[in-house]
Structures are given as C-alpha cells and as structure tokens.
Amino acid sequence: MKKIEELQGYLEERNFSQLFLLTDENTSKYCLPILLEKVDILTDRQAVLLEIPAGEENKTLKTAKNLINSLAESDADRNSCLLSLGGGVVCDLGGFIASVYKRGIQNINLPTTLLSMADAAIGGKTALNHSGIKNLIGTFNFKTEVFIDTDFLSTLLYPQIMDGAAEMLKTFLVFDWESAQEMMKTSDFTKINPFLIQHCAQIKENIVAQDPYDTSVRKKLNFGHTLGHAAEMFYGLSHGHSVAIGMHYAIDLSVKHANYSPQKAKEIQNFLELHYTIPDYRKDMTQLIPLMRQDKKNSNGNINFVLLD
C-alpha cells in the first residue's frame, strides 16, 4: 500500500504501453479531478477513460464483457495498465478484468471509499456477482498495487462512511481489540482518525501476506460475512451495513459457542444498534439459511461462521 503521491513515479518507471482509468459515474465526478490534479502523467499520456454506472448491480459479467470489449477496441496489449478509481465495486470489477484480459495486465487500485481503502482494495480478491449470488465469480489478482489518498473521502455520504466503519470494526474485533474500542468511542465517523484507516489496511496486508489464498488465517476476515452476504442479498442493503448485521449475529453465536465475553458482546452490539439499523433477522432465518448455504466458506454441506473467542 502506497500513497497517491508515489503513483506518478511508479507509472513513469514502468513505461506501460497504454493507461486505462476505470471509474463509475460518481468517482468520475468527485474523484477524477482530484486524481488528475495530483498525477500529471494520466493527462500527459492520455489515459483512456472507461466509465460504468455506479452500484453493486453493475458488478456483473455483462459489465465485465463491455469493458473487455472496450480494452480490445482500444488495442490494449499485455503491457497495458488498468487503474481502478472507485469503491469496492470498481476495484472488484477492475481487478477481475485486469486478471483475465490477455491472461493478465497490470492492475492498480485507487480506492475512494472508506470501505475500499481499509479493506476491499487490498488483498488481491476480485469478484463479480452472478445469478443473484454475491461474488460467485472471481479470481485472485496479486499483480494489484494499491495507492491511497484520504482526500477522496470528503465527498462520501454518511451511510457510505458507516459502511467502511463496519469493515474496519470487523478487522479490529478479530485482530486488535484496543483499536476496536477506539472505533467504538468514535461518534462522528467523518472525523475518523486517518491513522486507524492506515492501521486497518496494514493489518489486512499482513494477514494476506501470511495466507494469500484464504486457506487459514485470512478466513478470519470473514467474521460477520456469513449472515452478512445473505443479508445483503435478502434485504438489498449495502455490503458494509450487511456486515454490521452479520457481526451482530456472529457475536451472539460467539457467546453461545466460543465462550466470548458477554460484556464485550453487549458493548459491540450496543454500538452496532446505535449506528446501523439491525432488522429482526431471526424472523427471516427460513429465507436467509438457503442464501447462507451459497457461502464460499462452507464445506461438507455445513454453514461455517467465524466466531470471536
């Protein structure tokens, strides 16, 4: 993970044959002017702009196909570079295309949401939703470089900031209780300590370095995601909000099955209930369970949860 100020030098050194810049309609409007101001080479080298509509519903094979067609029509060769300027949707999609186009071109993530800076842009996982199932298609793309600029965060809406706060809390609950407590003391997340963002991203980077292919310790980052992914599909809520719901339930299971402290559990659930609308998911379990059966963590027909101990 590098700072955006290092991007100019990085691109100059590599001398890519063409630069492609993937945005969505919001990041074109709010983030692209900031980026072009800071990284001259994108203008000088006439980076080709590729824009998609905003939103999770566009993280699909259809959008991927259109973008691959655009790369081919622009004669992108294997020495081309795709820069994904956006939240988790743009980074997941851009990373996927970069990993399959001509068997792989350089991918650079320029995350613009709190969620993508602290989590989604890091770790090389790419994804498309398919047949109504979250992240059914995807690759590991370890060719990805990430450049961070917290200036992008100023135009996010408050619920989008809270989406990122949920994924950050997840990482801290699993790996750093003190930082989790600091998060839970924050009342206005627009003023979130940039050190916490960087610290969270660093934790993820370290975990991915230990277990890039998600076979052991990296799986812990799925805390809150079993019910979370099902809730995202069932309630149509954002990813971060759904992870908050998933953590709420996983904490109950942690007390019941892993001896997790009931006091800590209460503290975390109070925080979640204060900052997120938590639906009565227990009454919807009949519909949520089949969705949880689709989860990639499952094995031998069982539904697996990450619990806190």
Ligand X SMILES: NC(=O)c1ccc[n+]([C@@H]2O[C@H](COP(=O)([O-])OP(=O)(O)OC[C@H]3O[C@@H](n4cnc5c(N)ncnc54)[C@H](O)[C@@H]3O)[C@@H](O)[C@H]2O)c1
- Per the DSSP assignment, residues forming a β-bridge with 172 are none
Distance from C-alpha of 247 to C-alpha of 31, rounded to nearest angstrom: 31
Q: Min. distance of Cβ 100 from ligand X in angstroms? A: 15
Q: Min. distance of Cβ 257 from ligand X in angstroms? A: 25
Q: Return the residue of 7, 80, 92, 180 that touches ligand X, per CB under 6 A.
A: 92
For the beta sheet containing 81-86, the strands, ordered from the edge strand earlier in sequence to the opposite edge, are 2-3, 145-148, 106-111, 81-86, 19-24, 48-52
Helices 177-185/194-210 angle, 10° precision: 150
Q: Min. distance of Cβ 118 from ligand X in angstroms? A: 9
**Residue 141 in contact with ligand X, rule: CB under 6 A:** no
Q: Which one, 140 or 264, has the nearer CB to ligand X?
A: 140
Distance from C-alpha of 149 to C-alpha of 112, rounded to nearest angstrom: 8
Please identify, among the stretches 21-29, 67-75, 280-288, 297-305, the one whose residues bind ligand X according to the rule CB under 6 A.
21-29
C-beta nearest to ligand X: residue: 88
Q: Which one, 229 or 248, has the nearer CB to ligand X?
A: 229
- Per the DSSP assignment, residues forming a β-bridge with 51 are 23
Q: Which one, 50 or 89, has the nearer CB to ligand X?
A: 89
Question: How far, in whole angstroms, is CA 257 from its chain's centroid?
Answer: 29
Helix (H, G, I), strand (E, B) or coil at 2: strand
**Residue 35 in contact with ligand X, rule: CB under 6 A:** no
**Residue 145 in contact with ligand X, rule: CB under 6 A:** no
**Residue 268 in contact with ligand X, rule: CB under 6 A:** no
Q: Return the residue of 51, 59, 184, 292 that touches ligand X, per CB under 6 A.
A: 59
**Helix, strand, coil distribution of the chain in percent, nearest 5:** 60, 15, 25
- How many C-beta neighbours within 10 Å does residue 20 have? 24
How many chain residues bind ligand X (CB under 6 A)? 33
Q: Return the residue of 67, 125, 230, 251 that touches ligand X, per CB under 6 A.
A: 125
Q: What are the tokens at 199?
A: 């610290």
Distance from C-alpha of 298 to C-alpha of 58, rounded to nearest angstrom: 26
Entry field: residues in the chain: 309
- How many C-beta neighbours within 10 Å does residue 139 have? 17
Please identify, among the stretches 42-50, 118-126, 170-178, 253-261, the one whose residues bind ligand X according to the rule CB under 6 A.
118-126
Q: Return the residue of 26, 141, 179, 226 that touches ligand X, per CB under 6 A.
A: 26
Residues that bind ligand X (CB under 6 A): 24, 26-27, 30-31, 54-56, 59, 86-90, 92, 112-113, 115-116, 119-120, 123, 125, 127, 135, 152, 155-156, 160, 163, 238-240
